[in-house]
């Protein structure tokens, strides 16, 4: 017998499990994979960005989507300062990087996850790995396990099954048709924080892997200054992820290769005497373009104009691309359980069933907003489920 069930052992589910256990309930966490927190561990491979040091109202402005207001409410109750404190109580020193991004000193997720699981074990939380939730039956929640089907019928349940990217880590979005069949309104999944597909010419091969450190990308109304990388498949990295929402919504994309200089300054530099230098050598010299930026100018701007309009091209280079990389490669997923399907964190169609984390319909850029949103909604959904379980102890 278990009072409360959490399905999905990512950051949202683990947070919910802690909240339920602290409320005095017996808690079981069911996870499809043989081990827990696989996406969290993957997130730590490139430096686990837990949250961001920034004024709360500006932080909250990063969330969008139909369930964003719900996420904002949860983050107000568990803001970035609490995320820091939480990590520290798990023995993880944190530091703030130059852009305000907050990381554990260890950078990776494994020490934090280990300490977290230790804390949950101390609270009596039981884990069932290799238990894939397969749907509902009249008696409760049905699981496929190595020893066959099993059914759990707790007083309250929190779903924290993640989005629909990086399926190999567990979040495959297979829950969506199951919930839709149960009458839950869903917004369609879409890639968020995704790279761009570019069909490069052969000239670009030698630049694959090259970072572009000084540039500004503008998609629609969103200018983003930051770094990205030229890859065999297109463009990747934080600045590209940050414009993936407007690009997904159809905005055109331009690149400013000299963001520190105005159009007039670029034009004046280009007008300097060229002598016998080739145009490439001239561009390199007067605009201090490194090989990667010069290659992008030639790739997207070819044939380069020989007149004064070249300055405009350097400042507003149209980026020709074939859209976002596929959903499974995205850092996160937009879409999921829509606000109208929810009463707080509870599914209107399923009293006693709550949801948290990336499976709700919200999105945010990279920068720690994702994990903070998942931790905060996990905590809030767990607390709401505990209140429900206290009011309706069994048999609902």
Per-residue b or e along 299-322, where b marks 16 or more CB atoms closer than 10 Å to that residue's CB: bbbeeeeeeeebbebbbebebebe
CA 360 to CA 377: how far, in whole Å?
Answer: 9
**194 or 314: whose CB is closer to ligand FAD?**
194
**173 or 282: whose CB is closer to ligand FAD?**
173
Find out whether 319 and 253 touch, Cβ atoms under 8 Å: yes
48 binds ligand FAD, rule: CB under 6 A: yes
Label residue 358 exposed, middle or buried (CB < 10 Å: 0-12, 13-18, 19+).
Answer: buried
Min dist CB 49 to ligand FAD, Å, is 3
84 binds ligand FAD, rule: CB under 6 A: no
Find out whether 106 and 92 touch, Cβ atoms under 8 Å: yes
- Phi first, then psi: give them for residue 195, nearest 5 degrees: -75, 175
Q: Of the candidates 10, 335, 336, 382, which one interacts with ligand FAD according to CB under 6 A? A: 10
CA 193 to CA 242: how far, in whole Å?
Answer: 6
**346 or 370: whose CB is closer to ligand FAD?**
370
Min dist CB 303 to ligand FAD, Å, is 38
Q: Of the candidates 26, 41, 42, 53, which one interacts with ligand FAD according to CB under 6 A? A: 42
Q: Of the candidates 16, 17, 19, 40, which one interacts with ligand FAD according to CB under 6 A? A: 40
Beta bridge pairs of residue 196: 235, 324
Q: Which residues contact 302 (CB under 8 A, 6 or more apart)?
A: none
- Phi first, then psi: give them for residue 189, nearest 5 degrees: -65, 145
CB neighbours (10 Å) of residue 122?
A: 9
39 binds ligand FAD, rule: CB under 6 A: yes
**17 or 43: whose CB is closer to ligand FAD?**
43
| CA 160 and chain centroid, separation | 15
DSSP state of 308: T
240 binds ligand FAD, rule: CB under 6 A: no
H or E element at residue 246: helix 244-248
Site for ligand FAD in 165-224 (CB under 6 A): 166, 170-171, 175
Label residue 330 exposed, middle or buried (CB < 10 Å: 0-12, 13-18, 19+).
Answer: buried
Q: Of the candidates 314, 331, 355, 381, which one interacts with ligand FAD according to CB under 6 A? A: 331
| Region binding ligand FAD by CB under 6 A among candidate stretches 5-13, 145-153, 316-324, 345-353 | 5-13
For 33, 50, 83, 351, the CA distances from 147, given in Å and listed in that order, are 15, 37, 38, 29
141 binds ligand FAD, rule: CB under 6 A: no
Min dist CB 373 to ligand FAD, Å, is 7
| Region binding ligand FAD by CB under 6 A among candidate stretches 33-41, 86-94, 121-129, 199-207 | 33-41
Min dist CB 26 to ligand FAD, Å, is 19
Min dist CB 101 to ligand FAD, Å, is 8
**296 or 330: whose CB is closer to ligand FAD?**
330
Min dist CB 178 to ligand FAD, Å, is 8
Paired sense of beta strands 4-7 and 332-337, if any:
unpaired
**44 or 317: whose CB is closer to ligand FAD?**
44
19 binds ligand FAD, rule: CB under 6 A: no
| Region binding ligand FAD by CB under 6 A among candidate stretches 3-11, 196-204, 281-289, 304-312 | 3-11
Q: Of the candidates 104, 195, 336, 357, which one interacts with ligand FAD according to CB under 6 A? A: 357
DSSP string, 284-307: HHHH---HHHHHHHHHHHPSPPSS
Q: Of the candidates 19, 43, 102, 314, which one interacts with ligand FAD according to CB under 6 A? A: 43
Min dist CB 42 to ligand FAD, Å, is 5
- Total number of residues binding ligand FAD (CB under 6 A)? 36
3-state secondary structure of 158: strand
By the criterion CB under 6 A, which residues form the site for ligand FAD? 7-13, 30-33, 38-40, 42-43, 46, 48-49, 132-133, 160-162, 166, 170-171, 175, 331-332, 357-358, 368, 370-371, 374
């Amino acid at each position: 017998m278990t009072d409360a069930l959490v399905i999905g052992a990512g950051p949202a589910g683990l947070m919910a499990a802690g909240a339920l256990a602290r409320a005095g309930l017996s808690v079981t966490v069911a996870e499809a994979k043989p081990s827990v927190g696989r996406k969290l561990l993957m997130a730590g491979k490139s430096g686990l960005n837990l949250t961001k040091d920034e004024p709360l109202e500006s932080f909250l402005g990063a969330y969008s989507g139909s369930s964003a207001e719900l996420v904002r409410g949860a983050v107000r109750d568990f803001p970035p300062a609490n995320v820091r404190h939480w990590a520290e109580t798990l023995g993880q020193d944190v530091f703030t990087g130059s852009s305000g991004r907050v990381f554990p000193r260890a950078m990776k997720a494994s020490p934090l996850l280990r300490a977290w699981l230790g804390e949950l074990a101390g609270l009596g939380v039981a884990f069932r790995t290799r238990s894939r939730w397969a749907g509902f039956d009249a008696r409760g929640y049905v699981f496929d396990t190595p020893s066959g089907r099993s059914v759990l019928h707790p007083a309250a349940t929190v779903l924290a099954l993640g989005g629909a990217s990086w399926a190999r880590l567990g979040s495959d979005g297979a829950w969506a048709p199951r919930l839709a069949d149960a009458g839950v309104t869903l917004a369609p999944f879409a890639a968020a924080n995704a790279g761009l597909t570019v069909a490069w010419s052969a000239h670009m091969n030698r630049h694959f892997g090259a970072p572009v450190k000084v540039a500004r990308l503008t998609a629609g109304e969103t200018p983003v200054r930051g770094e990205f990388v030229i890859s065999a498949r297109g463009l990747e990295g934080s600045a590209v992820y940050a414009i993936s929402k407007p690009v997904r919504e159809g905005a055109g994309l331009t690149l400013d290769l000299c963001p520190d200089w105005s159009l007039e300054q670029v034009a004046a530099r280009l007008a300097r005497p060229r002598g016998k230098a080739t145009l490439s050598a001239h561009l390199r010299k007067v605009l201090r373009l490194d090989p990667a930026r010069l290659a992008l100018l030639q790739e997207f701007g070819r044939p380069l104009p020989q007149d004064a309009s070249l300055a405009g091209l350097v400042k507003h280079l149209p980026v020709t691309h074939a859209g976002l990389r596929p959903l499974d490669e995205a850092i996160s997923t937009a879409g999921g359980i829509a606000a109208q399907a929810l009463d707080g964190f509870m599914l209107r169609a399923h009293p006693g069933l709550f949801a948290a984390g990336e499976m709700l319909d919200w999105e945010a850029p990279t920068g720690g907003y994702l994990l903070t949103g998942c931790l905060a909604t996990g905590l809030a959904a767990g607390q709401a489920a505990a209140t429900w379980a206290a009011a309706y102890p069994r048999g609902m």
